[in-house]
Amino acid sequence: MTSRYPEMSVDTAMITRNAEKVVGLCSGKGISVWGVTKGLSAHPAVASAMLDGGCVGLADSRVDNIRKLRLFGFRHPMMLLRIPMPGEMTDVAENVDCCLVSMPASVLMLDRACDEAGSEVGVIVMVDLGDLREGIWPDGVEEMADALLQCRRTRCLGVGSNLGCLSGVLPSVTNLSLLVRIGGELSNLLGHPLEVVSGGATSSLSLVEDGTMPEGVNQLRVGEGILLGTDVTGNRVIPYLERDAIRITAEVVEVRRKPSMPIGKTGADAFGNTPVFQDRGTRRRAIVAMGRQDVRPEGLTPIDGGLEIIGASSDHLTLDAEDFEGPLNPGDTISFAADYGAMLAAATSPYVRTKIIKK
């Protein structure tokens, strides 16, 4: 890659401080915290920052990311967050300590892969509490227990759930109490106690904060809160966490005064959307060399005042810069705060350089 920009800077000291805060809050309630690395493509410096902050292990949705961390020398416990593909069971058996599962048949496949690899993997049975993504339905406990009882190398660590991500269902005393109860049922069927009740992600922190997390929940898997200090599902900033660890910076390539209304008959934009415009007269506009191949523009907020995103195509992002104080010229840079989606897109775009800063 030749150009320095677009660039995503990551302040790892801030991530460590955020992890310390989350771990401190949770440890007071007997809850251990796994650091979720997928938001920054399991960058090793970010993984280290989370461990430095006291996370007991690292969790990622991709086996490739976990394998990468192993190659970087991480010997810490690693959890696979996405229920495994039948086609990746060998990689799972060879690289992960613990894996979320929801299909009895997959558990049996994983067990066979572990047999071949000579390894053991702990599994956490996901229970769907209403968000309608992965997980057994509460009446599917017996079928899952039957599969687990046939396994020799796949050990059931406990139950878990994911909320918010697909349908926006919020964690609550009601749905997480159901999770604890299903954990009890599974434990009875298996004939041994369960080590883990994994009660969700960043959005579950609010229950820990207000002291309503049901007794028995003893693990959370936290990414967004530690990286960004926000909770998108709960629609809040997390007041005790820092929010500027991640910055995305792009280079200005055009600054010009232009009318705010397009000229000519308009159709759809490059992505099939029909943009709407407001006539604000002639205004200063800037273009930065960054677009949908690099980020999710809807998730960006300019750091400096007087800048407003107008729109973005694949490679250009235009801003209204009329109220920006001071000069603006090609070669200057504009920095943005990012939400989870924008961060994820930047981290997985081959065009965005990640720069680690440690203050």
Ligand X SMILES: *Cc1c(COP(=O)(O)O)cnc(C)c1O
8 contacts ligand X (rule: CB under 6 A): no
Contacts of 171 (CB under 8 A, 6+ apart): 163, 164, 199, 200, 203, 204, 206, 207
Place of tokens 């989370």: 50
345 contacts ligand X (rule: CB under 6 A): no
Q: Of all helices (H) and strands (E), which one includes residue 193?
A: none
223 contacts ligand X (rule: CB under 6 A): yes
Contacts of 309 (CB under 8 A, 6+ apart): 297, 300, 302, 317, 318, 319, 320
Place of tokens 């039948």: 86
Q: Of the two residues 76 and 258, which places its CB atom closer to ligand X in the complex?
A: 76
Query: Is 38 a catalytic site residue?
Result: yes
Among candidate residues 141, 87, 138, 96, the one with its CA nearest the CA of residue 114? 96
The region of 8-16, 91-99, 220-228, 316-324 touching ligand X under the rule CB under 6 A is 220-228
At CA 13, angle to CA 8 and CA 19, rounded to 5?
Answer: 105
How far apart CA 166 and CA 219 sit, in angstroms, is 21
Tokens encoding 348: 């997985």
Compute CA distances 330 → 122, 254, 346, 359, whole Å: 54, 6, 22, 29
224 contacts ligand X (rule: CB under 6 A): yes
201 contacts ligand X (rule: CB under 6 A): yes
| Residue 142-181 contact track with ligand X, rule CB under 6 A, x = bound | --------------------x-------------------
The region of 42-50, 223-231, 298-306, 328-336 touching ligand X under the rule CB under 6 A is 223-231
Q: Of the two residues 58 and 222, which places its CB atom closer to ligand X in the complex?
A: 222
131 contacts ligand X (rule: CB under 6 A): no
- What is the smallest separation between the CB atom of 96 and ligand X, expressed in angstroms? 13
Task: Candidates 61, 106, 175, 219: give the one binding ligand X (CB under 6 A).
Answer: 61
69 contacts ligand X (rule: CB under 6 A): no
How far apart CA 46 and CA 55 sit, in angstroms, is 12
The region of 67-75, 209-217, 218-226, 322-330 touching ligand X under the rule CB under 6 A is 218-226
Compute CA distances 343 → 9, 206, 247, whole Å: 10, 23, 9
Q: Of the two residues 224 and 294, which places its CB atom closer to ligand X in the complex?
A: 224
218 contacts ligand X (rule: CB under 6 A): no
- What is the smallest separation between the CB atom of 220 and ligand X, expressed in angstroms? 8
Q: How many residues bind ligand X (CB under 6 A)?
A: 13
Tokens encoding 301: 């907020």
Question: One of 21, 29, 38, 265 is an active-site residue; which one?
Answer: 38
The region of 137-145, 222-230, 239-247, 292-300 touching ligand X under the rule CB under 6 A is 222-230
Compute CA distances 169 → 69, 172, 174, 204, 336, whole Å: 32, 9, 12, 11, 29
Report whether the peptide linkage leading into residue 6 is cis, meaning its omega lies within 30 degrees of zero: yes
C-alpha 285: how far from chain center:
33
Is the CB of residue 54 less than 8 Å from the CB of residue 40?
no
21 contacts ligand X (rule: CB under 6 A): no
81 contacts ligand X (rule: CB under 6 A): yes
- What is the smallest separation between the CB atom of 255 and ligand X, expressed in angstroms? 37
When CB distances to ligand X are compared, the closest residue is: 223
221 contacts ligand X (rule: CB under 6 A): yes
- What is the smallest separation between the CB atom of 164 and ligand X, expressed in angstroms? 7
Query: Which residues are known to be catalytic?
Result: 38
Residues that bind ligand X (CB under 6 A): 36, 38, 61, 81, 100, 162, 201-202, 221-225
